[in-house]
Amino acid sequence: MDQAMHQEKDCLFCRIARGEIPCKKVFEDEEIFAFHDINPAAPVHFLIVPKTHLVNLYDADLDQAPLLGKLFGVAGRLAREQGCDDGFRAVVNNGRVGRQEVYHLHIHVMGGPQPLRSGR
């Protein structure tokens, strides 16, 4: 991992990306990490997170555009690999009102064999 990459010592997703907390990994490279949600809202439900700590979209700016593009750029391929052949939902919860629970930017990728219900 790039030593210049900012991470927070106690952030749950930073700790998962560092391998300190076990998870069911979907994908990893030098900049991003994807893993299954521990409380899935759909038959397929995983998260894609940057390894560098961004609290949410409020903290993102044009300097992070390549990283943000990469997060969404792998979503379709990973969704297909996980069995979402007929569509999926990509959701970014942002802040308290947006129902963000972990304050490290992440994309929820959700899908399955049937249309998803509203919510989350």
Contact call for residues 46 and 34 (beta carbons, < 8 A): yes
* 16 to 96, 115, 118: CA distances (angstroms): 22, 30, 29
Q: Report CA Rg, the chain.
A: 14
Domains of the chain, first to last? 12-111 (3.30.428.10)
Identified catalytic residue from 45, 53, 104, 106: 106
| pLDDT tens sequence across 18-52 | 999 999 999 999 999 999 999 999 999 999 999 99
At 2, the pLDDT band (50, 70, 90 cuts) reads: very low
36 catalytic? Reply is no
